[in-house]
Amino acid sequence: MMTNRFRLTIGQLNATVGDLQGNADKARKAWEAAKAAGADMLALPEMFITGYQTQDLVLKPAFCRQAEEEILKLAALCTGGPALGIGGPWRDGEKLYNAFWVFKDGEMIARVLKHRLPHKQLFDEWRLFNSGPISGPYPVAGARIGSPICEDSWSPDVAETLAETGAEIMIVPNGSPYHRNKLDLRMGHMVARVVETGLPLAYVNMVGGQDDQLYDGASFVLNPGGHKVVQLPPFQEMLAHVDFTQTPDGWRAEPGLMAPQPDEWEQDYQAMMLGLRDYLRKSGFSKVVLGMSGGIDSALVAIIAADAIGPQNVHCVMLPSEYTSQTSLDDAADCANRLGARLDTVRIDGARDAVADALADLMKGTEPDITEENIQSRLRGLMLMAISNKFNEMLLTTGNKSEVGVGYATIYGDMAGGYNPIKDLYKTRVFETCRWRNANHRDWMMGPAGEVIPTRIITKPPSAELRPDQVDQDSLPPYEILDAILDGLVERDLSLADLVEQGFDADTVRKVERLLYGSEWKRYQAAPGPRISIKAFWLDRRYPLVNRWRDKL
């Protein structure tokens, strides 16, 4: 019997890689809610049972077998209600597929296999999966559903084949990671599919942090012509029920929730906050510790941490020497106080003098240089790691993308730690993000509202304070210039000639390139941090550690 209504429940949910049972339980709860809402189908994201991305974990036969068993157990429990669509692996002999499994009353009615495997930027699915044939549509409650899996919807061929073979509604399961302004990019591709096929489309995306990747949800529904009728918020777990009605022109989605999409400053901030929150939660940590220098980077990391897990779980430690200014001591205390975070002080002079004494014979006859500066930084790393070990608080590192880019950080010193929330944020954006946070508070932030970062921290010249009267611009170009050059070299792969043509000084450009390539080995050992750009170090930009090539001018 034909019906003129089809209700879809979109499960914009947060899976955890490897937590097969936990992900199945989450799917079961969502199915129960869909059943209570009278839905015809629950659609969950790509590879939901395993979490995403699994990387090489999915190549373990035991892991794949258990994931498939978990899917079948879940399907057997989900009877007498809506159809269940869930992403997970499928091994067929020697071949392994990224699949979307669809069940009704415990019986499998379709197993759609991903055809187009992404292999650029942060993806390497060619390494893991086999490409499946383009699948046809499957029937659910009187409608014929086509499900291009994520990348399958970014080109015309899969959707076109589905339309030609009778699909009436497209439901696209995704593990589509966040980067700045990603929604506009996705929307452009999905509107094209809808215009080409004349079919409505529901885009079902995962949400949550996984290592250094973030999934922003922001699921949506389009009607033919590319008209958006449903838009879910970013970075928020939720279920949404969408009604499709049969019309003389085919199925059409009824208008539903239209959540506003925040600007890029808010989305980036929420991405960094959620990346940290999920990394801690999924790793089993509930508290963090960080070195609070009185500078802008550690202040921003402290507030991101306070927003992620609450100020009472943020432990700030000031580690002064005689080079630490009174201004820095005051600013660190002021910021921690505004946040409501604990601040302790551990001096490093005694430990530094002990190291100097121990090395005195070996170092005899040499002049003090960066070696002695780095000893201070490494002692801070040593003490912070000791606190981390003793109190089970994850140590956060605080190097921004500009510093990480040119190696203006001490390996095993201020680079020591488990996670870096601002790893993909250039210094100029650090300043702007601090101003944004001072002016904005949202209900998803656990930290206090108001001016949490003192103005003086934002306006004073940045300094490592490892020698008298040191400022960053002694060693580096001004951050406005440095960031613009790094953006050219890293984000846009420009040549030195391109940058000089844009008006940058030739020697400065050469120096930045030399520092960028020369610090590759440091980044290889750096803590993970949330990807918010299209060229995050290591995930999107993978360079040899030893590399003698330098561009010519």
The model's pLDDT over 492-515, given as tens digits with 9 standing for 90+, comes to 999 999 999 999 999 999 999 999
Q: Is 219 annotated as a binding residue?
A: no
Catalytic residue among 64, 150, 316, 335: 150
The catalytically annotated residue of 64, 78, 104, 114 is 114
The response to whether 328 counts as a known ligand-binding position is no
Considering only CA atoms, which of 352, 171, 151 is closest in space to residue 251?
A: 171
Q: Where are the domains of the chain?
A: 7-257, 265-468
Q: How sure is the predictor about 472, in pLDDT bands with cuts at 50, 70 and 90? A: low
Report yes or no: 203 and 194 within 8 Å, Cβ to Cβ. Answer: no
Asked if 169 and 180 touch (Cβ cutoff 8 Å), the reply is no
CB < 8 Å & 24+ apart, contacts of 18-24:
18/50, 18/51, 18/54, 18/57, 18/63, 19/51, 20/49, 20/50, 20/66, 20/67, 20/70, 21/70, 23/48, 23/49, 23/50, 23/51, 23/70, 24/49, 24/70, 24/71, 24/73, 24/74
- 335 labelled catalytic: no
Q: How far apart are CA 205 and CA 150, in angstroms?
A: 9
120 annotated active-site: no
Q: What percent of the chain has pLDDT over 90?
A: 94
Which one from 26, 46, 335, 465 is the annotated catalytic residue? 46
Tell me whether residue 278 is annotated as binding: no
Domain 265-468 homologous superfamily, CATH? HUPs (3.40.50.620)
Mean pLDDT of 23-49: 98
393 catalytic residue (yes or no): no
Q: Looking at residue 462, what is its pLDDT?
A: 78
pLDDT of residue 468: 77
Tokens found for residue 39: 């839905």
Residue holding tokens 């939720």?
Answer: 238
Lowest mean per-residue pLDDT among 16-25, 178-187, 269-278: 178-187
SS3 call for 64 = helix
pLDDT digits (tens, 9 = 90+) for 363-416: 999 999 999 999 999 999 999 999 999 999 999 999 999 999 999 999 999 999
Supply the mean pLDDT for the chain. 96
Residue-wise pLDDT for 80-123, tens only, equals: 999 999 999 999 999 999 999 999 999 999 999 999 999 988 88
From CA 470, how far away is CA 464, in angstroms rounded?
7
Strand partners, 302: none
State how far the Cα of 100 lies from the Cα of 98, in Å rounded to an integer: 7
DSSP class of 85: E
- Say whether 120 counts as a known binding-site residue: no
**CATH match of 7-257 with 3.60.110.10:** yes
- Dihedral over Cα of 412, 413, 416, 419: its sign: negative
Q: How many CA atoms lie within 13 A of 110 on its CB side?
A: 22
Residue 4 assigned to a binding site:
no
Q: Is the pLDDT of residue 143 over 80?
A: yes
**1 falls in which pLDDT band (50, 70, 90)?**
very low
